Amino acid sequence: MFYAFGKFLCKVFFHLYLKTKVIGDKNIPPRGSFIVAGNHVSFLDPVAFGIASPRRLNYMARDTLFRNRLFGWVLRHVSVFPLKRNSANIGAIKEALRRLGNGEGLLLFPEGTRSADGCLKDPLEGGGFLARKRGASVIPAYVQGTDKALPKGTKFIKPKAIRVIFGEAVVFPQDKSLLDEDVTAEIMRRIAVLRDSLRV
């Protein structure tokens, strides 16, 4: 209920204030585990992908955000779990695999952190591991305009139009001969195709 209510409020705000347009939301599978793999340019991105997805998403966020008890409580009640940066993150990986194993959805930023200039960055290998390990459907996604609505280093949201596009789902084989970096590279290639489609 907490997640649904929060999503409703955010959806109203994004559609009325930010004129958000969603493309390809039918590519989200109606059942089973899935990973939304998207670009990352703003703090608004997790919310943008969350309100655009017809199914509930789980999120990883840096552990420092959980230091405030009240904010940490809110995060946990909207399906966010902590991720330690610059470490092995065994706990976060296990939790992500557990939720995927339960048939849930997971939002993943293969780049690991926000892009300062809006361009796609070199990805980390962790995304490829999660995509291959559980055999979940991977939906490439691209968000446009969040970096204009809430640029890095600013605190106030500007009324800029946002577009979210979901590509066709792909399932990577659970094959040990398939390298994690190759999987991640293919995911980023598909994200780049979505980016280019919005430029046309």
Q: How confident is the model at residue 177 (pLDDT cuts 50, 70, 90)?
A: confident
**Cα torsion through 183, 187, 192, 197, rounded to 10:** 140
* Rounded Cα–Cα distance for residues 108 and 182 (Å): 16
Crossing angle (nearest 10°) for helices 126-134 and 90-101: 30
Q: How many CB atoms lie within 10 A of CB 130?
A: 23
Instruction: Please give the backbone phi and psi of residue 194, each rounded to the nearest 5 degrees, phi first.
Output: -65, -40
Reference 83, options 142, 140, 124; nearest CA is 124
* Bridge partners for 60 per DSSP: 81
pLDDT tens digits, 125-158:
788 888 888 889 999 999 999 999 999 888 899 9
What pLDDT shows up at residue 132? 87
Beta strands in 21-111 (DSSP E): 21-23, 34-38, 57-62, 80-83, 105-108
Tell me what the pLDDT averaged over the chain comes to.
Answer: 92
Q: What is the DSSP string of 114-157?
A: --SSSSPPPPPSHHHHHHHHH--EEEEEEEESHHHHS-TT--S-
Phi-psi region of 69 (alpha: psi -120 to 50; beta: other; left: phi over 0): alpha
Q: What percent of the chain has pLDDT over 90?
A: 69
Q: What is the total residue count of the chain?
A: 200
- How wide is the angle at C-alpha 136 spanned by C-alphas 46 and 164, nearest 5°? 30
What token pair was written down for 196?
């280019």
The pTM of this model reads 0.93
Is the pLDDT score of 14 beyond 70?
Answer: yes
* Rounded Cα–Cα distance for residues 166 and 158 (Å): 24
pLDDT tens digits, 26-57:
999 999 999 999 999 999 999 999 999 999 99
Residue 166, SS3 per DSSP: strand
Residue 196, SS3 per DSSP: helix
